[in-house]
Amino acid sequence: MTTLFISDLHLSPLRPDITDCFLDFMTTEAVHAEKLYVLGDLFEFWIGDDDNSPFNILIKDAFKALTQQGVECYFTQGNRDFLLNKRFCKETGVQLLDDHTVINIDGESVLVMHGDTLCIDDIKYQEFRAKVHQPWLQWVFNRIPLFIRQRIVKNVQDKIKAKKQHKTLTIMDVTQSEVEKVMSEKGVKRLIHGHTHRPDVHSFINHDEKMIRIVLGDWYKQGSILEYKNNKYTLHNKSFK
């Protein structure tokens, strides 16, 4: 049994190198897996499930082909695709997971998430997140014409870009006490997430028990995949052609 995990691809029509690597991954690696977990930020930005641009159709078709071949696909929203929802899933066969979901891998409970909720020292981001996750605001936003939504997002992104440059790397990393708290609450000894773009395997002791936190990598310079096979987790890269 092979289970694959990816996140932080930031797919966009402006990065055909990432898109090619992703499409190749879907047809050569993912197709042989039993399950694929996409832990957020698949897209550079997802404006809404009604955006049927040729690029979005290309990506949706890749998921549809995969699920039709029997690979179970799961998706967790990231901070860039928090508006990806049920319609995308219905069109592709992908199953949407809650922000924090405990899955079972060969008998072990494993917590999977995007990872942004662990960065609690990034107070400005957490305030922003709380705002844009309000169901009523999303309801209203989804009903605004697409071209106006695109302008709003561009405006907010420009505003935010300047603010992000002043943040330290520590603020933008996970807060260890929050990791321990969430893992205890969920009763797991293993956590898999993305978001920080710092692929690594962290081991630590909490309440006398060994805990493991696996961080997925981004796809800016190469593909980054976590593979679970034969009771072993391996992080590997996939070069752009």
Site residues for ligand LP5 per CB under 6 A: 79-80, 116, 119, 122, 124-125, 128, 131-132, 137-138, 141, 152-153, 156-157, 159-160, 163-164, 167, 172
Q: Which is nearer to Mn ion, 48 or 115 (CB)?
A: 115
Between the alpha carbon of residue 48 and those of residues 65, 77, 80, 136, the distances in Å are 21, 12, 11, 15
Q: Is 81 annotated as a binding residue?
A: no
Q: Is 64 among the annotated ligand-binding positions?
A: no
Residue 78 engages Mn ion in binding (rule: CB under 5 A): yes
Judged by beta carbon distances under 5 to 8 A according to partner kind, the member of Mn ion, ligand LP5, none in contact with residue 152 is ligand LP5
- The binder of Mn ion chosen from 3, 79, 92, 224 (CB under 5 A): 79
Task: Confirm if 71 and 107 have CB atoms less than 8 A apart.
Answer: no
- Tell whether residue 218 is a contact of Mn ion (CB under 5 A): no
Segment holding 65, helix H or strand E = helix 54-68
State both tokens at 67.
């699920």
Q: Is 197 annotated as a binding residue?
A: yes
Give the contact letters, 99-128, x = binds to Mn ion (CB under 5 A), - = no: ------------------------------
Give the strand order in the sheet containing 190-193.
101-105, 108-113, 190-193, 209-215, 200-206
104 marked as binding residue: no
Q: How many CA atoms lie within 13 A of 97 on its CB side?
A: 21
Whose Cβ is closer to Mn ion: residue 149's or residue 195's?
195
Contacts to Mn ion by CB under 5 A: 41, 78-79, 195
